[in-house]
Amino acid sequence: ETGVTQTPRHLVMGMTNKKSLKCEQHLGHNAMYWYKQSAKKPLELMFVYSLEERVENNSVPSRFSPECPNSSHLFLHLHTLQPEDSALYLCASSPRRSSRDTEAFFGQGTRLTVV
Amino acid sequence: DQQVKQNSPSLSVQEGRISILNCDYTNSMFDYFLWYKKYPAEGPTFLISISSIKDKNEDGRFTVFLNKSAKHLSLHIVPSQPGDSAVYFCAASDGTSYGKLTFGQGTILTVHP
């Protein structure tokens, strides 16, 4: 248990559906992240939020829409996804520090399948 | 263009022996490196890290070595145990304020009893 909780753990959705992934952390961290892990690929950073403000969008298609209502919660809203979007979506958090110690704590991930 | 590479997709080691996992990077701005371990159906968990001002960091059975001139780091596990069997990811950061990490593809370590 890393202190970062993701729900749901598994999600199957059709291409016309709208769904949301949820992430929650109570570690007192100020930065939260969405990563994507596709089969046989490295983890890819999607979005970074620092103090509830989006500071980076790593060229992610608009069918993925993040939301960070407060420093403990992060959502990823999904709509009109494609089958190639099927992947493991991981949320992470870290203290917002200016120097090193950029260790991130990950949730268990949501395994998403788009049919 | 992959900035962090783990060229060995898998590694098999006998229990009690040393496991050596390798990682190469291309971005000279990276100055903080981490290793994560991942079991199936779980998220990655932090294992050990090293700053670019050091060339070695040790934590119990785990030691990370950094060769800045070669842009290479390695993770040594000794002695290896069956419970170490997992996917190991190398990650790097360029020291921005937001902890953004660039990951390698991972190496599957299998430790045989």
- pLDDT mean across residues, chain A: 89
**For residues B93 and A9, what is the distance between their CA atoms, to the nearest angstrom?**
28
**For residues A112 and B35, what is the distance between their CA atoms, to the nearest angstrom?**
25
CA atoms within 13 A on the CB side of A21: 31
Q: What is the band of A57 on the pLDDT scale with cuts at 50, 70, 90?
A: confident
Nearest CA in chain A to B48: A103
Average pLDDT of the segment spanning A29-43: 89
Those residues with Cβ within 8 angstroms of residue A74's Cβ, 6 or more apart along the chain or in another chain: A22, A23, A24, A32, A34, A49, A66, A67, A68, A91
Cβ of A31 within 8 Å of Cβ of B104? The answer is no
Chain B partners of A44 at a C-beta cutoff of 8 Å? Answer: 103
pLDDT at B98: 64
Average pLDDT of the segment spanning A85-101: 79
Q: What is the band of A101 on the pLDDT scale with cuts at 50, 70, 90?
A: low
Q: What is the band of A84 on the pLDDT scale with cuts at 50, 70, 90?
A: very high
| Percent residues over pLDDT 90 in chain B | 84
Site of tokens 């248990």: A1
Residue among B45, B89, B98 minimizing CB distance to A31: B98
pLDDT at B65: 98
pLDDT at B96: 67
pLDDT at A51: 77
The full 3-state SS of A19-80, as one line of letters, equals EEEEEEECCCCCEEEEEEECCCCCCEEEEEEECCEEEEECCCCCCEEEEEEECCEEEEEEEC
- Structure tokens that stand for A56 in this block: 């980076």
Chain A partners of B97 at a C-beta cutoff of 8 Å? Answer: 50, 96-98
Average pLDDT of the segment spanning B60-74: 97
What residues pair up with A13 in beta bridges, in sequence order? A114
- Is residue B102 within 8 A of residue B27, CB to CB? The reply is yes
Q: What is the band of B100 on the pLDDT scale with cuts at 50, 70, 90?
A: confident
- Structure tokens that stand for B24 in this block: 């190469």
Chain A partners of B105 at a C-beta cutoff of 8 Å? Answer: 40-42
pLDDT at A98: 46
pLDDT at A39: 83
Per DSSP, the residues of B24-70 read: EE--TT--EEEEEEE-TTS--EEEEEEETT-SEEEETTEEEEEETTT
Closest C-alpha among B14, B32, B35, B31 to residue B106: B35
